[in-house]
């Protein structure tokens, strides 16, 4: 059998070939490693270790041969560089952690390894997951001598989104069939939309945060990114589940088979369409693609229901008070004393702290630390932080009121298609672009992005689906049924058909 087109296959297809012994885990790993080398110009991988990857693959081949295969035995994937890994360096794309190696694996990494997955490497992201474009990465990707943002495979002049930009770009460029991502305010959904892939953020607490470098602890959540809803369901089934001894925010809710609902019919499904998601700030090309997808749902038997999420606009200031506040606390551990970067020249301990953080953190990280410290300071805590927490509760209540009239909510992921690299020079403009993803994050609800078309410049557009708590199965079913009726998830960027072995 010829394996030159393995990168065109998704998780379900590759797993079937591996279990049927039509493909070895070593062959699959070698194929995708060669793809990664052939397309280094995209700046996607921060770390690769072929010896480690092939050793993992050989172990999975032995398990397959012995009839002891795990559910995803031999499947290659890559991890966002905020998940600590024992066998690969973990930097969170920051100078502060350059060269750091963890003595243990994050729970998400460990669970996917137990499911049989083979790690291809670590992927670029915004520094400490702070950003919406992947332009805040402060570590040089493989093939570069200096820090570079990952490029959008559909057009390398555009951003892939963030903070999980490397993860989305890796899947879109067919350098990996799947990747892990994290979503604090939309960092799985937005890059998935910009890169034309599928990504899902589960209910807060569904996936363990142990070993995931913290940005904002009450918001951070891990999730899978892949080509299709079917692929995401297979991955999510393995990475979710309670981790009560190691993660105090983990929910005591057993893992589920999220593939079980994939083929449920959509007749009678009520899809809420928030009027606030179709405001003047939404670009016409994005709106056209989203509305076409909603019409497709009507053809499949679903019913569109007008709803309101009246505090949508307030989600931006609420998020950018709460998230920086938590970040200022979480990042205080990076002080140069125990691990990570330490300034070379300093007069005393306080001077060492100051110089270490000034050298180790990038501008966006410093900006959020300062905002967070300010809103938590005496005299401002009640005026900013406490009020933001009250509004967060109200935003969550808006969703519960909406779910009285609908089963899930649909709308755009982002107001525009992926912007050009360097176009977002004003941080506030970048923050405002999160307006459609932030509400679900603040409420802790599951949400996902599904590719539904193309906008200006032939750049992908994603449809956001939001469910009530623990309704991941319903979301994945709705996405899967749409993908059975359309083929946008099968489209791939031009100019990336180079096969391994050519021009490497």
| Rounded CA separation 397/380 (Å) | 25
187, 228, 250, 449: which one is catalytic? 187
80 annotated active-site: yes
For the question of residue 163 being annotated catalytic, the response is yes
The helix, strand and coil proportions of the chain, stated in percent and rounded to the nearest 5, come to 40, 15, 45
- CA R_g for the chain: 21
Residue 183 β-bridge partners: 221
Q: Residue 283 in contact with residue 252, Cβ under 8 Å?
A: no
Catalytic residue among 24, 102, 133, 163: 163
Q: Which of 80, 133, 259, 430 is catalytic?
A: 80
Name residues whose C-beta falls within 8 Å of residue 253's C-beta, 6 or more positions apart in sequence.
Answer: 205, 206, 241, 242, 470
Residue 365 to residues 138, 425, 428, Cα–Cα distance (Å): 11, 15, 14
Rounded to the nearest 5 degrees, what angle is found at the Cα of 174, between the Cα atoms of 168 and 179? 40
In the numeric block, the tokens 């991941």 are attached to 472
Tokens of 247: 């993660």
Q: Work out the burial of residue 428: count CB atoms within 10 Å of its CB; fewer than 13 is exposed, 13-18 middle, 19 or more buried.
A: exposed
Active site residues: 80, 163, 187
């Amino acid at each position: 059998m010829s394996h030159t087109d393995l990168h065109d296959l998704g998780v379900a297809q590759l797993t079937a070939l591996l279990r049927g012994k039509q493909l070895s885990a070593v062959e699959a790993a070698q194929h995708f490693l060669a793809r990664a080398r052939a397309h280094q110009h995209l700046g996607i991988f921060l770390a690769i270790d072929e010896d480690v990857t092939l050793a993992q693959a050989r172990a999975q081949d032995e398990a397959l041969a012995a009839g002891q295969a795990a559910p995803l035995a031999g499947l290659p994937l890559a991890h966002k560089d905020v998940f600590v890994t024992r066998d690969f360096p973990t930097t969170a794309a920051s100078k502060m952690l350059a060269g750091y190696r963890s003595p243990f694996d994050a729970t998400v990494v460990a669970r996917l390894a137990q499911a049989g997955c083979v790690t291809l490497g670590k992927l670029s992201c915004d520094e400490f997951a702070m950003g919406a474009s992947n332009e805040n990465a402060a570590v040089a990707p493989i093939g570069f001598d200096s820090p570079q943002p990952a490029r959008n495979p559909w057009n390398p002049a555009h951003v892939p989104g963030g903070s999980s930009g490397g993860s989305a770009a890796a899947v879109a460029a067919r350098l990996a069939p799947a990747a892990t991502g994290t979503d604090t305010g939309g960092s799985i959904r937005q890059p998935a939309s910009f890169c034309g892939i599928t990504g899902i953020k589960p209910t807060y607490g569904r996936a363990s945060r142990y070993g995931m470098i913290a940005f904002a602890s009450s918001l951070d959540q891990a999730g899978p990114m892949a080509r299709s809803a079917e692929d995401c369901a297979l991955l999510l089934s393995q990475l979710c589940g309670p981790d009560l001894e190691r993660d105090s925010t983990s929910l005591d809710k057993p893992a589920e088979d999220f593939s079980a609902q994939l083929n449920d019919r959509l007749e009678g499904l009520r899809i809420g369409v928030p009027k606030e998601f179709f405001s003047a700030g939404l670009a016409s090309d994005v709106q056209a693609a989203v509305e076409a997808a909603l019409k497709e749902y009507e053809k499949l038997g679903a019913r569109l229901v007008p709803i309101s999420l009246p505090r949508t606009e307030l989600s931006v200031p609420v998020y950018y008070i709460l998230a920086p506040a938590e970040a200022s606390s979480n990042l205080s551990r990076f002080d140069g004393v125990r691990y990570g970067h330490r300034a070379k020249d300093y007069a005393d301990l306080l001077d060492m702290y100051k110089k270490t953080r000034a050298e180790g953190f990038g501008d966006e990280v410093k900006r959020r630390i300062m905002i967070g410290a300010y809103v938590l300071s005496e005299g401002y805590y009640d005026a900013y932080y406490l009020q933001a927490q009250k509004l967060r509760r109200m935003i969550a209540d808006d969703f519960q009121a909406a779910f009285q009239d609908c089963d899930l909510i649909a709308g755009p992921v982002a107001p525009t298609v992926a912007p050009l690299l360097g176009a977002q020079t004003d941080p506030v403009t970048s923050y405002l672009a999160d307006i459609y993803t932030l509400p679900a994050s603040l409420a802790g609800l599951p949400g996902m992005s599904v590719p539904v078309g193309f906008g200006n410049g032939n750049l992908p557009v994603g449809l956001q689906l939001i469910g009530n708590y623990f309704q991941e199965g319903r979301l994945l079913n709705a996405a899967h049924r749409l993908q059975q009726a359309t083929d946008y998830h099968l489209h791939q960027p031009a100019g990336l058909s180079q096969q391994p072995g050519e021009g490497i």
